[in-house]
Amino acid sequence: MISFAFNETPLPLVLKDLEQVYGIDFMMENESLRNCTFTGEIMHQTLYNKLELICQAIDATYEIRGTHILISGKGCN
């Protein structure tokens, strides 16, 4: 079972965990988002609350596009 407790975890790994649990595909708008990390415990949140917290932490937004979710933002260095 996935704990949804992350410590400086690269964004692609965080999104992979969400994909496994929710069965939704995630896309990143640009490659520099792959450099972002997320730290936090989001286990008792809805999917949309999880996305809000992740996006706040990396200064990004998300958009639902059919069966995909697009993460948009300038990314991290």
| pLDDT, tens only, 25-62 | 999 999 999 999 999 999 999 999 999 999 999 999 99
Look-up: residue for tokens 């999917």?
Answer: 47
Indicate the angle between helix axes 47-58 and 11-22, nearest 10 degrees: 170
Pull the structure tokens for residue 42.
């989001």
Portion of the chain with pLDDT greater than 70, in percent: 99
Confidence of residue 77 (pLDDT cuts 50, 70, 90): confident
**Closest by alpha carbon to 19, among 44, 41, 51, 55?**
51
- Does residue 2 have a pLDDT over 90? no
Pull the structure tokens for residue 57.
């932490």
Question: What pLDDT is attached to residue 3?
Answer: 86
